[in-house]
Amino acid sequence: MAVKELNDSNFDSEIKKGVVMVDFWAPWCAPCRMVAPVLDELSVEYKDKLTIAKLNVDENSGAAGKYSVTSIPTLIIFKDGQLVERAVGASPKQHYMNMLNKHISA
């Protein structure tokens, strides 16, 4: 399963579907490009447990503004539509795995 693309119109409905990690990013952001392959790997490894999605903040300022995203990459984990955790900046894969593992059912 590939990383799902979100936009301002489908954002609210998509984050209500269980556990969803959203990467707020932009094409010009170098740290965002470093995080992208890690998220691709995680989307395969966690495909039956959660959704990994990304939102281009240049094209979709509504959702980014609603969640006060001022630096990118910002990764936010939603559980049934509620914000449960956020991380700002590029981090190693293990950091994201630790975040995700806290929010998925065993």
Asked if 39 is an active-site residue, the reply is no
Question: What is the CA angle 4-25-50, rounded to 5?
Answer: 35
How much is the mean pLDDT over the chain?
95
Asked if 29 is an active-site residue, the reply is yes
CATH class of the domain comprising 4-101: alpha beta
Q: What is the mean pLDDT of residues 25-48?
A: 96
Give the C-alpha separation, 53 to 50, whole Å: 10
pLDDT per residue as tens digits for the range 50-81: 999 999 999 999 999 999 999 999 999 999 99
What is the percent of the chain where pLDDT is above 90?
Answer: 95
Choose the catalytic residue: 3, 19, 29, 35. 29
Q: How far is CA 2 from the centre of its chain?
A: 13
Position 1 scores a pLDDT of 55
The set of residues, in sequence order, having a beta carbon less than 8 Å from that of 1 and lying 6+ positions away, is 43, 44, 47
Q: Where are the domains of the chain?
A: 4-101
Choose the catalytic residue: 3, 21, 22, 32. 32
Q: What is the mean pLDDT of residues 4-23?
A: 96
Q: What is the 3-state secondary structure (H, E, C) of 35-91?
A: HHHHHHHHHHHCCCCCEEEEEECCCCHHHHHHCCCCCCCEEEEEECCEEEEEEECCC
Entry field: residues in the chain? 106
Q: Evaluate if residue 98 carries a pLDDT over 80.
A: yes
Position 18 scores a pLDDT of 94
Residue 38 amino acid letter = V
Give the C-alpha separation, 55 to 65, whole Å: 12
- Band of the pLDDT at 2, cuts 50, 70, 90? confident
What is the percent of the chain where pLDDT is above 70?
Answer: 97
Global pTM? 0.95
